[in-house]
Amino acid sequence: MQIFGFPTSPYVRKVLVIAAEKGVDVELADATPHKPTPEFLAASPFRMMPAMRDGDFTLPDSTAIAFYLDAKYPDPPLLPEGAKMRGRAIWLDEFADTILANSARGVAFNRYIGPALLGLPRNDEAANEAEAKAHPALDYLENLAPADGWLAEDYSLADISVASCLKTLSYGLDVKARPRTAAWLERIEARPAWKKVADLERDTIEGAIASGAHRSS
Ligand SMILES: N[C@@H](CCC(=O)N[C@@H](CS)C(=O)NCC(=O)O)C(=O)O
């Protein structure tokens, strides 16, 4: 199975972690937006990452890929069984993909990803504007973060999507400044699947910086 994308994206990391939790081997394939390969375009006609190819089947969108993986590899499940926690997990996936991701991408792109990977100037004004929007979302999360365990009781899509966004945000902001969030994130980071994806992410960033492949000029 191929996943097209770059792992600093919260959406790409989300599907890489889900695949790792389910023990599915994936190949990370190039999705450089300004130089899209025909293979990437075939899987993602609107040039958004991630996209997936599994045999002759292609699919864009992290949540669509998440549920494809969950249907094909049900163990461990992505969603809790009970109505309340299932609803909460789906809400937190949406919260991560919209409210949190918008500010996380603004902070990370303008403070780190643009300058380090794309050769763009650091844009503090845009980063500060995104950071101002991140704080209410981080306060909301701090209230939800449990003293022990996971965001929707069972470890679920909620933890994966929200922590994936915080990892992107961490490229430009201390995401462990709030104690309950920090303790929950440490439990996440201790999981083997997260360690595996963090290693892949570090190696991919180092490779991109060394080759200059993602630079737009
Ligand atoms: N809803 C999509 C969002 C994907 C998305 O916005 N990806 C960004 C990278 S973080 C992207 O591909 N941006 C390229 C562009 O906007 O042209 C998902 O969950 O996969």
Which H or E run includes 187? helix 179-189
Contact 95, 134 (CB under 8 A): no
Q: Which of 4, 12, 30, 48 to mutate to test the pocket of ligand 1 (most atoms within 8 A of CB)?
A: 48
- Give the count of beta carbons closer than 10 Å to the beta carbon of residue 56: 5
Q: Provide long-range contacts, Cβ within 8 A and 24+ apart, for 43-49.
A: 43/2, 43/4, 44/4, 49/4, 49/5, 49/6, 49/9, 49/11, 49/12
Q: Which domains does the chain have, with CATH numbers?
A: 2-77+194-211 (3.40.30.10), 83-191 (1.20.1050.10)
Q: What is the pLDDT of residues 16-43, one digit of tens each?
A: 999 999 999 999 998 987 889 999 999 9
- Ligand 1 pocket, CB under 6 A: 9, 11, 33, 47-50, 61-63, 97, 105
- Name which residue sits closest to atom 12 of ligand 1, judged by CA: 48
Instruction: Report which of 213, 191, 158 is spatially closest to residue 22, judged by C-alpha positions.
Output: 191
**Dist. CA 50 → ligand 1 center (Å):** 7
pTM for the complete prediction?
0.96
Q: What is the pLDDT of residues 176-192, one digit of tens each?
A: 999 999 999 999 999 99
- Name which residue sits closest to atom 11 of ligand 1, judged by CA: 48
Whether cis (ω within 30° of 0) applies to the bond prior to 50 is: yes
Can you give the pLDDT at residue 214? Answer: 61
- How far is C-alpha 54 from the geometric centre of its chain's CA atoms? 20
**Dist. CA 102 → ligand 1 center (Å):** 10
Instruction: Spell out the residues 6+ positions from residue 183 whose beta carbon is closer than 8 angstroms to its own.
Output: 145, 147
**Dist. CA 12 → ligand 1 center (Å):** 9
- Per-residue pLDDT of the chain in tens (217 residues, 90 and over written 9): 999 999 999 999 999 999 999 999 999 998 987 889 999 999 999 999 999 999 999 999 999 999 999 999 999 999 999 999 999 999 999 999 999 999 999 999 999 999 999 999 999 999 999 999 999 999 999 999 999 999 999 999 999 999 999 999 999 999 999 999 999 999 999 999 999 999 999 999 999 999 876 654 3
- Give the count of beta carbons closer than 10 Å to the beta carbon of residue 10: 24
d(CA 136, CA 158) in angstroms, rounded, equals 18
- Name which residue sits closest to atom 15 of ligand 1, judged by CA: 48
- Name which residue sits closest to atom 2 of ligand 1, judged by CA: 61
Q: What backbone phi and psi angles, to 5 degrees, belong to 139?
A: -65, -40
